[in-house]
Amino acid sequence: MEYFTPSPKKGSESKSKLISRRAFVLTSFKFIFLATIISRLFYLQVIKKEDFTIKADKNRFRSWKLNPSRGIILDKYNHVIADNFQVFKIAIIPKEIKSINNFFSFLSKIINLEEKEINFYKRQISKNNKYQPFVFNKNFNWKEFSKINYNIQDLPGVQPFVSYERTYLYPYQFSHILGYVSIPNKDDLNKLRSDYIDVPNLKIGKIGLEKNLNETLLGEPGSATYEVNVFGKRVKQVVHKDGVGGNTIKTTFDKDIQNYAFDRLKNATGSVVVMDMLGNVLCCASSPSFDPNKFTYGMNEDEYKSLQNDERKPLVNKALTTVYPPASTIKMLVALSALENKVITNNFRHTCKGKVELYDQEYHCWKDKGHGRIDLNKAIKESCDIYFYEVARLLGIDRLNETAKRFGLGKQVFESFFEEKEGLIPSTLWKKTTLGKPWFLGETMIAGIGQGYMKTTAVQLCKMIVQFANGGYEVNPSFIEKKENTLTNKIIDNDDHVQFLLNSLYQATNEPGGTSYASRINGKMKFAGKTGTAQVKKITKYERDRDLKNKDLPWKFRDHSLFVGYGPTDKPQYGITVIIDHGGSGSAAAAPIARDVMKVIFEKEKKLNNV
């Protein structure tokens, strides 16, 4: 420290010169030293002030976005069908966790976590932004949640919190049509508003109405700021901004009808759709099903894979997504088109000998012996195929295409329902532009019995029958209750045609010899409809000669069973479609289910009207 504490030597000029030189060096040095300190202080206090303030606050406060409660879904009688239940969850800030392995080894000591689960979370955490909360897609029970809270000082970076999770009250019954919610993926996040980013435990609708109405159901996120201690534990809440809950949605479903229809489908693969005469959907059940709560409460990979690999496809909505040949259910439409185009009259007769030959190709009626000479009424009632080959031959595919499109076949029934398929109503132009081939007459004939290229969905067929039963008015089916829904647009030009065909359907179900006579409803309120048996596999000559029964084939080659109907017949109020995949004939599988569902509807109707 010689420079700073020099010991001056007395009594000589040279000494004094030496002293003043030393003093100069010393002063300069002091000045430089001071300037450095001042400039450093200036830098820290003025230039970097903001950074330091934030860092200091970060040690004391934590801000969280708050997940708004998702809108509740009601049925038409205000019964809750989708609610939000309180759940206990944890989140971690990955950056604040020194060793993820140590973290999990400690956590698995206090709560039960499987090795597979841990590995899954480790992968997920590694993909998460390390500064943003990672929420475990798992709901903890109260005991687990308490243990985590009790040990929070040994779990730095962990934040336990209480949230609300979407819960379906009739999970299997409504799974396909309500859909489910789950964690948004990157694409989903890109479509969301920026204030939804980094909302812990945010779930969005992935399929069904949950997806279709996601924006309405979602609500607005809130936020909360907490003061925390050195372990990151919340000490007190300092700011709280409430979010806005999502809107309550009142649907057109009748939970009793939906639940009954689903139970009635039992182990079958297929769907039941019921609409009123305005197109309000009372029931849209699909089987087999799955538990949508598992998507919110956590489903393991094995469970998901087994759903995906099931040949009966439980994740698919059979009413909207699966397309089927309409089979004989199309006959009422073929007849209407032929009547409107004046190709035939009500009295048109034709002879069925069980088969007909055209250009070396044989076309068969389901009744080997043939129906003999029959008219339009009997051809519908007994569902003669030969009669309708002939009507279709006279009508032509393009005129049939126009009528079918007018009734809503071959196009989506609902607005922007992403899983709904269009199906297909062919035409000569369609075949030329899509397949690059000319149309053949034989293709027109099989279109007359709803086979060949023609594909429809259960909801399309339900819309079709409703538009017959309501007297020929267009409906725009909906799952959401509309304030005004009146019938204004008539899509037929002669009421007599429709009345004639409804009468034939009445006979098909309520008079001996009709294809669904075995499924009639006795009593004051009756129902009526048309069966359909859709071929999945062409019957070979070998099989026909040996009279091989459909039930002898493997399940996936058996015919689909269809029924479309309406009731009560004296004053139509409801239309119904039942389709059973590989269920055999329409009269065997679909018609009895339609009858039972309609019976329940009638009973309910009687109670409501005190009849």
Residues that bind Zn ion (CB under 5 A): 352, 365, 367, 371, 384, 386
SS3 104: helix
Number of Cβ within a 10 Å radius of residue 33: 10
Q: How far is the CB of 383 from Zn ion (least distance, A)?
A: 8
Nearer to Zn ion, 8 or 372 (CB): 372
Helices and strands per DSSP (H, E), number in the chain: 22, 19
HSE-CB at 451 with a 13 A cutoff on CA atoms is 22
Distance separating alpha carbons of residues 607 and 228, to the nearest angstrom: 60
Nearer to Zn ion, 356 or 591 (CB): 356
Peptide bond just before 8 cis, omega within 30 deg: no
Distance separating alpha carbons of residues 466 and 460, to the nearest angstrom: 10
State both tokens at 483: 């304030």
Q: How far is the CB of 585 from Zn ion (least distance, A)?
A: 15
- All residues at 6 or more sequence positions from 260 whose CB lies less than 8 Å from its CB, including other chains: 596, 597, 600
- Specify whether the CB–CB gap between 134 and 92 falls below 8 A: yes
Nearer to Zn ion, 344 or 384 (CB): 384
Q: How far is the CB of 374 from Zn ion (least distance, A)?
A: 7
Nearer to Zn ion, 371 or 530 (CB): 371
Nearer to Zn ion, 318 or 350 (CB): 350
Distance separating alpha carbons of residues 76 and 255, to the nearest angstrom: 8
Distance separating alpha carbons of residues 92 and 95, to the nearest angstrom: 9
State both tokens at 464: 């079709």
What are the CA-CA distances from residue 136 to residues 178, 201, 209, 223, 606 (Å)?
24, 8, 26, 20, 50
Number of Cβ within a 10 Å radius of residue 280: 23
Nearer to Zn ion, 382 or 420 (CB): 382
Nearer to Zn ion, 384 or 454 (CB): 384
Q: How far is the CB of 352 from Zn ion (least distance, A)?
A: 3
Distance separating alpha carbons of residues 520 and 517, to the nearest angstrom: 5
Q: How far is the CB of 529 from Zn ion (least distance, A)?
A: 19
Distance separating alpha carbons of residues 551 and 276, to the nearest angstrom: 35
Q: How far is the CB of 334 from Zn ion (least distance, A)?
A: 14
Nearer to Zn ion, 269 or 516 (CB): 516
Nearer to Zn ion, 386 or 590 (CB): 386
Q: How far is the CB of 379 from Zn ion (least distance, A)?
A: 8
Radius of gyration of the chain (CA): 37
- Specify whether the CB–CB gap between 437 and 431 falls below 8 A: yes
